[in-house]
Amino acid sequence: MQAETSEDAVDTFLAAFNASNSAYVTELLARALTSDVVFWGPLGRSVGVEAVETFITELRAHPEGPGTVTRTTVVDTPGEWARYSWSYRNEAGRPLLTGTDMVHLRDGRIDQMVVFAGDLAAI
């Protein structure tokens, strides 16, 4: 059950990236995230759904134009934490960013999110 809940929350969050209507983005984020979500992104820490929505808006302003985010792995759920990988592609399908997110869930919604963009360097 926890794995299904995690996958639903993650997929709803990712659907917000791909929604063309800003009201629908807000609705999807409200379903996927707690109101006090802590978001650790590439530019630092922010709190709240509005901050996550701002991040999505800024990503859509990518110099190559808006793209789509897709989950590229299963949602791996050890307990209340989950991780998954994703890809952000431009309209032509060329990958612009890839990464892995870690999320913590509370009552079926994401209350903490850590975004790791790019691949780790090999040692």
Global pTM reads 0.90
Give the model confidence (pLDDT) of 5-54 as tens digits.
Answer: 899 999 999 999 899 888 899 999 999 999 999 999 877 899 999 999 99
Helix axes 49-60, 22-32, angle to 10 degrees: 130
| Residue in 30, 28, 31 with CA at minimum distance from that of residue 16 | 28
Contact at 8 Å (CB) between 98 and 87? yes
HEC secondary structure over 79-101: CCEEEEEEEEECCCCCEEEEEEE
- Please state, rounded to an integer, the average pLDDT across all residues of the chain: 90
* Residue 97 pLDDT greater than 50, yes or no: yes
